[in-house]
Amino acid sequence: MSGGGSKKNFMKIFLFNLFFVGIMVACSSEKPTYEYMPDMMDSPAVKAQKETMRSPVAGTLPRNYVPYPYGVEEGDLAGQQLKNPLSISRETLTYGKDRFNTYCMVCHGADGKGQGSIVPKFPMPPSLHSEKVRQWTDGRIFHVITQGQNLMSSYATQIKPEERWALILYMRALQRAVAPKDSDIEAYKKYLQSQ
């Protein structure tokens, strides 16, 4: 009698496990699951308003858009022709510092010496205090920010033109803080004497 009961229990457990394994095999991630209560944000659009998705008319530009006239290899020409339209003021330097800290500091470091937080994992970017970079005009630096150079990609979509010019003014202030010109030293001496 006891032998028959254990066979029934064994069969029940075996069938339950077989059923369970069958369910688990049927639950594959290859097929999408059925959604019994869909979210409103995933609902199918009845009228998708595709009429507004038209291509722009050939030869037109978006409002307030000025195309950049220099190609990637025309950095020297851009350096000769582009001039910084912003004047140095506390506001532009503060704004330039904010843009620098947002976009440049991660690679070039807070002081511009190329010791940013990415240095342990990526090649070291050039120091902004090198003689080569110090000799570049503001227009050349604007071009590098706009088009990119070597391992640095373009920041044209992230940084607006006015922001680039303010950033360049702040970068020049960093350069002068590390290696001041004679005129800076004379101006500072005059400032100290007036105090």
In order, the DSSP letters of 116-158 are -TTTTTSPPPPPTTSHHHHHS-HHHHHHHHHH-BTTBPP-TTT
Contact (Cβ atoms closer than 8 angstroms) between residue 174 and residue 93: no
Mean pLDDT across 151-166: 89
Q: Is the pTM of this model over 0.85?
A: no
* Cα separation of the two ends of the chain: 111
CATH number of the domain residue 174 falls in: 1.10.760.10
Residue 143 belongs to a domain: yes
Q: For residue 185, name the pLDDT band (cuts at 50, 70, 90).
A: confident
Residue 51 three-state SS: helix
In a domain, 92, yes or no: yes
Distance between CA atoms of residues 171 and 8, nearest Å: 84
Q: Tell me the mean pLDDT in the region 7-20.
A: 87
In a domain, 130, yes or no: yes
Domain that holds residue 116: 75-186
pLDDT at residue number 3: 59
Asked whether the predicted pLDDT for residue 177 surpasses 70, the reply is yes
CB 120, CB 182: distance < 8 Å: no
In a domain, residue 53? The reply is: no
Tally of domains within the chain = 1
Q: At what angle do helices 161-178 and 138-147 cross, to 10 degrees?
A: 120
User: Is 52 part of a structural domain of the chain?
Assistant: no
6-15, 28-37, 132-141, 157-166: range with lowest mean pLDDT: 28-37
For residue 49, is it within any domain?
A: no
- Altogether, the residues listed in the chain come to a count of 195
Say if residue 29's pLDDT is above 70.
no
- Does 140 map to a domain? yes
Asked if residue 91 belongs to a domain, the reply is: yes
